[in-house]
């Protein structure tokens, strides 16, 4: 049965800076947060003074007390302010937390912030760069610092390659099936002015691109970019008075199973299964009620495991599923209509938000030539760590 | 080029894990074993899940099969880019747990999922020995 919720929340607006491989203007995260908060408020038609909730990932300018630093810098006061630490799943995790906070009565308007922009240089090499310390895995006392890093298992490429190798071995999934994901998403990107990659590619192009970490080829791996985005959540009642079509969250789920791939309970079924089952149960709808999906796609294999785990096909059937369906916005099973991060570019943490915004564009009728007809219900996923923490959203136009 | 690379990360043993690294230094492979005879990896203060202290170090066979692997061909791990191509593998140990390592002692393209392997001890410096794996007959 759908959860009974008398006070409903709704997404009222968003902003998204197009990903770029080189960012023209350095800025601190706090500065980017001010600008994107202003833009998201303008998009919705909401006065920034109404914001009383803030969600973000950790910020370099204030590694401790980050939420308070953001509130202070924005010049607001908040009834709900938190850091979400789910890697690439953080933006999807922010959306349901914002909705839950509003529906629980903790706050009335919550801004969800994601930014990865180069910082101004300090001239003394003080820039904050967690990737230099293997995403923090080499901290004193970290099990992974002792048992993964000394063997070179210290970066997402290698972790996801281990997932892909076992998955393809266990189910006999051919490389062409993984490549199909990259090809269809590139077709979508050709019609997205915000996408970094705008040249068509074929399955042969993907399989002929260099092997980076077997079995993953270069065109199956996201390009790191810079960018920022914000999504504004408020009450459905307030959203109805604003400029955009309100979008409600009818179901959500989140599941965390491990940190390092070494200790994954299995490499052939990802945590999205528990998250998706919870989300669909909460929404009270079947899988075939979904009009479009936007699935976190740091690598091609991520999409196949997410399709399977989300219940759109059975275990091991993801390869056949993507080969039997046209995943483009003109196709029978539109997926990542923005091109996915594989073709749009992965704007750091904002890459995870791009899937939320892909769904919002479709549900609010703002997708331009990629617009789907009659799109009322979207399924969105986020993936963090190394297929180790995932979250699912079911969004509906209201 | 290699001299410009950052140093490879090496294990920094903790009070709980020191016994494992000391054994490796002596070319012995040991694992934490629960009171019921089952093994877990990695070592923790208390057993994972049950959160009790019913565990002790026990000798292990050092045998297993490759559960999954990748070949780093381009130096995705910067500190290791002087070693490419090299194999990162998750070994399914005979005792049950998964153990991440490098597979050495054969051409990288010979490694397969399911390949039987055994532990070898790599004395990387004066104080540290890493447990790696090689094919076994």
Write down the pLDDT at residue A132. Answer: 55
| Inter-chain CB proximity A213 and B74 less than 8 Å | yes
B5 domain-assigned: no
Write down the pLDDT at residue A124. Answer: 56
Mean pLDDT of B123-132: 96
Distance between B16 CA and the closest CA of chain A, angstroms = 10
Task: Please determine, for residue B1, whether its predicted confidence score (pLDDT) is greater than 50.
Answer: no
Q: Which residues contact A75 (CB under 8 A, 6 or more apart)?
A: none
Secondary structure of A241-308 as H, E, C letters: CCCCCCEEEEEEEEEECCCCHHHCCCCCCCCHHHHHHHHHHHHCCCHHHCCEEECCCCEHHHHHHHHH
Task: Please determine, for residue A231, whether its predicted confidence score (pLDDT) is greater than 50.
Answer: yes
Quick one: DSSP state of residue A166? H
**Tokens, residue A302:** 């991520």
Contacts of A214 in chain B (CB under 8 A): 69-71, 73
Q: Return the ∠ at Cα A224 (arms to A223 and A230), rounded to 5°.
A: 120
Count of CB atoms situated within 10 Å of the CB of A132? 11
Task: Please determine, for residue A174, whether its predicted confidence score (pLDDT) is greater than 60.
Answer: yes
DSSP A30-79: HHHHHHHHHHHHHHHT--GGG--EEEE---TT-SSSHHHHHHHHHT---S
The ipTM is 0.96
Band (pLDDT 50/70/90 cuts) for residue A135 is confident
Q: Among A71, A186, A68, A162, which residue's Cα sits nearest to residue B67?
A: A162
Contacts of A212 in chain B (CB under 8 A): 73-74, 76
**For residues A143 and A248, is the Cβ–Cβ distance under 8 A?**
no
B49 domain-assigned: yes
**For residues A96 and A252, is the Cβ–Cβ distance under 8 A?**
yes
B2 domain-assigned: no
Contacts of B74 in chain A (CB under 8 A): 210, 212-213
Task: Please determine, for residue A1, whether its predicted confidence score (pLDDT) is greater than 70.
Answer: no
**Is B13 an interface residue toward A (CB < 8 Å)?**
yes
Distance between B109 CA and the closest CA of chain A, angstroms = 10
**Tokens, residue A194:** 């915000």
Write down the pLDDT at residue B78. Answer: 83
Mean pLDDT of A238-265: 97
Distance between B76 CA and the closest CA of chain A, angstroms = 7
Q: Which of A141, A142, A143, A152 to mutate to test the interface with B (most CBs of B within 10 A)?
A: A152
Q: What is the pLDDT of residues B20-57, one digit of tens each?
A: 999 999 999 999 999 999 999 999 999 999 999 999 99
Structural domain for B131, as ranges = 13-135
Omega of the bond prior to A215 within 30 degrees of 0, cis? yes
User: Considering only A34-38, A91-95, A352-356, B81-85, which range has the smallest mean pLDDT?
Assistant: B81-85
Q: Return the ∠ at Cα A93 (arms to A91 and A99), rounded to 5°.
A: 105
How far apart (Å, rounded) are the C-alpha atoms in residues A168 and A268? 9
**Is B133 an interface residue toward A (CB < 8 Å)?**
no
B48 domain-assigned: yes
Q: What is the pLDDT of residues A317-344, one digit of tens each?
A: 999 999 999 999 999 999 999 999 999 9
Task: Please determine, for residue B18, whether its predicted confidence score (pLDDT) is greater than 60.
Answer: yes
B37 domain-assigned: yes
Burial of A312 (0-12, 13-18, 19+ CB in 10 A): buried
Secondary structure of A213-243 as H, E, C letters: ECCEEHHHECCECEEEEEEEEEEHHHHCCCC
B3 domain-assigned: no
What residue in A sits closest to B108 (Cα-Cα)?
Answer: A214
Write down the pLDDT at residue B76. Answer: 84
Q: What is the pLDDT of residues B67-86, one digit of tens each?
A: 999 999 998 888 898 999 99
Band (pLDDT 50/70/90 cuts) for residue A235 is very high
Task: Please determine, for residue A127, whether its predicted confidence score (pLDDT) is greater than 80.
Answer: no
Backbone angles phi, psi at A46, to 5 degrees: -110, 140
Contacts of B88 in chain A (CB under 8 A): 151-153, 158, 162
**Tokens, residue A338:** 């923005």
CA A140 from centroid of its chain's CA atoms: 30
Q: CA A30 → CA A82, A230, B20, distances in Å?
A: 15, 13, 45
pLDDT > 70: what percent of chain A?
96
Write down the pLDDT at residue A300. Answer: 98
Domains of chain A with CATH codes: 9-120+221-397 (3.40.47.10)
Q: What is the pLDDT of residues A261-316, one digit of tens each?
A: 999 999 999 999 999 999 999 999 999 999 999 999 999 999 999 999 999 999 99
**Is B98 an interface residue toward A (CB < 8 Å)?**
yes
How far apart (Å, rounded) are the C-alpha atoms in residues A26 and A119? 5
| Inter-chain CB proximity B72 and A162 less than 8 Å | no
Write down the pLDDT at residue A123. Answer: 59
In the predicted model, what is the mean pLDDT of chain A? 95
**Prediction pTM value:** 0.96
| Inter-chain CB proximity A147 and B102 less than 8 Å | no
In DSSP terms, A235 is beta-bridged to A9
Q: What is the pLDDT of residues A60-87, one digit of tens each?
A: 999 999 999 999 999 999 999 999 999 9
pLDDT > 90: what percent of chain A?
92
Contacts of B13 in chain A (CB under 8 A): 146
Distance between A335 CA and the closest CA of chain B, angstroms = 28
| Inter-chain CB proximity B70 and A162 less than 8 Å | yes
Contacts of B99 in chain A (CB under 8 A): 147, 262
| Inter-chain CB proximity B74 and A134 less than 8 Å | no
Q: Where are the beta strands (DSSP E) in A177-215?
A: 211-213
Provide long-range contacts, Cβ within 8 A and 24+ apart, for A235-239: A235/A7, A235/A8, A235/A9, A235/A10, A235/A102, A235/A108, A235/A109, A236/A8, A236/A9, A236/A10, A236/A398, A237/A8, A238/A12, A238/A46, A238/A50, A238/A108, A238/A109, A239/A10, A239/A11, A239/A12, A239/A44, A239/A398
Backbone angles phi, psi at B102, to 5 degrees: -105, 140
Count of the separate structural domains present in chain B: 1
Contacts of A151 in chain B (CB under 8 A): 88, 100-102, 130, 132
Contacts of A213 in chain B (CB under 8 A): 70-74, 76
Band (pLDDT 50/70/90 cuts) for residue A165 is very high
């Amino acid at each position: 049965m759908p959860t009974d919720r008398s006070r409903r929340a709704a997404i009222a607006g968003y902003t998204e800076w197009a990903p770029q491989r080189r960012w023209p203007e350095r800025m601190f995260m706090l500065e980017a947060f001010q600008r994107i908060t202003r833009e998201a408020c303008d998009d919705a038609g909401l006065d920034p003074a109404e914001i009383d909730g803030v969600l973000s990932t950790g910020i370099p300018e204030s590694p401790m007390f980050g939420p308070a630093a953001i509130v202070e810098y924005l010049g607001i006061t908040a009834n709900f302010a938190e850091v979400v630490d789910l890697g690439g799943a953080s933006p999807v995790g922010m959306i349901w937390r914002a909705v839950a906070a509003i529906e629980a009565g903790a706050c009335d308007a919550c801004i969800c912030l994601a930014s990865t922009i180069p910082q101004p240089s300090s001239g003394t090499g003080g820039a904050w760069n967690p990737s230099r310390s293997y995403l923090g895995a080499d901290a004193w006392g970290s099990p992974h610092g002792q048992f993964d890093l000394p063997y070179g298992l210290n970066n997402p490429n290698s972790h996801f390659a281990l997932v892909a190798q076992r998955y393809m071995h266990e189910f006999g999934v051919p490389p062409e099936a993984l490549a199909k994901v990259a090809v269809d998403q590139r077709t979508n990107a050709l019609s997205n002015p915000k996408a970094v990659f705008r040249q068509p590619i074929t399955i042969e192009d993907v399989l002929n691109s260099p092997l980076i970490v077997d079995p993953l080829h270069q065109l199956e791996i996201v390009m790191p970019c810079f960018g920022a985005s914000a999504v504004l959540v408020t009450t459905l009642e307030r959203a109805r008075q604003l400029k955009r079509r309100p979008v409600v969250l009818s179901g959500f789920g989140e599941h965390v199973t491990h940190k390092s791939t070494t200790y994954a309970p299995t490499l052939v079924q990802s945590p999205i299964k528990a998250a998706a089952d919870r989300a669909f149960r909460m929404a009270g709808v079947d899988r075939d009620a979904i009009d479009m999906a936007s699935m976190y796609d740091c690598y091609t294999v991520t999409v196949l495991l997410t399709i399977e785990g989300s219940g759109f096909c059975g275990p091991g059937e993801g390869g056949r599923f993507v080969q039997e369906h046209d995943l483009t916005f003109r196709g029978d099973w539109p997926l990542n209509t923005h091109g996915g991060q594989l073709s749009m570019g992965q704007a750091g943490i904002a890459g995870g938000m791009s899937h939320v915004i892909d769904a919002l564009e479709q549900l609010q009728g703002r997708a331009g030539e990629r617009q789907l007809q009659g799109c009322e219900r979207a399924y969105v996923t986020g993936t963090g760590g190394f297929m180790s923490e995932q979250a699912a959203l079911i969004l509906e136009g209201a | 080029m290699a001299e410009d690379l950052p140093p490879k990360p090496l294990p920094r043993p903790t009070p709980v894990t020191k016994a494992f690294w000391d054994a490796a230094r002596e070319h012995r492979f040991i694992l934490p074993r629960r009171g019921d005879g089952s093994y877990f990896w990695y070592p923790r203060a208390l057993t994972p899940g049950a959160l009790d202290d019913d565990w002790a170090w026990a000798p292990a066979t050092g045998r297993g099969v490759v559960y999954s692997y990748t070949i780093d061909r381009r130096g995705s791990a910067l500190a290791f880019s002087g070693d490419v191509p090299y194999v990162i593998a998750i070994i399914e140990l005979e005792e049950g747990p998964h153990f991440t390592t490098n597979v050495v002692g054969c051409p990288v393209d010979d490694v397969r999922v399911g390949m039987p392997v055994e532990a070898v001890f790599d004395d990387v410096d004066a104080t540290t020995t890493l447990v790696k794996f090689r094919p076994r007959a």
